[in-house]
Amino acid sequence: MITTKPKHYKSKYTKLSGSSRDEVYKKARQVYEQEKAKSKRHPYVRSAYFKAKVFLELFWIHNAQKSRGEQLRRLRYYQCAIDLIKNSRNVPAERLNPNGNRERVFRFYGLTKDSEEFWVQIKEEKRTKGKYMMSIVPPVRNQ
């Protein structure tokens, strides 16, 4: 059960540009590598809302399971998502993970600099309190 839609965080970045998945992937990996260089072991960013580390590796595993077109759509928002995690103090929507009772899922809503909506999903393991960026979801396409 998701509560009412929280406030959006306005990112200072636009979507990553590029005409192919490989171009956008390269730019997203550069952002990731910058964050990775700041940590000794597992790459993370410190969340303003949680005041704790949010680990980034799970996103890459999750994203690799998507089709190439879906990967491209999600990777475009990577830099905005990192900015959101670092700086957003807005209360996220929260619920239990339907795939496992030992996890909670937080959904942070954001806007790019161009006011395009997206959201970032972070899971928290109840036992360890470890937080992991799971997914970035761009706006739904009209079909």
Could you read off the pLDDT tens digit of each residue along the chain, which spans 143 residues?
A: 455 567 899 999 999 999 899 999 999 999 999 999 999 999 999 999 999 999 999 999 999 999 999 999 999 999 999 999 999 999 999 988 777 788 999 999 999 999 999 999 999 998 999 999 999 998 776 54
Cα separations in angstroms, 45 against 3, 68, 114, 115: 26, 26, 24, 23
For residue 140, the model assigns a pLDDT of 73
Backbone angles phi, psi at 25, to 5 degrees: -60, -45
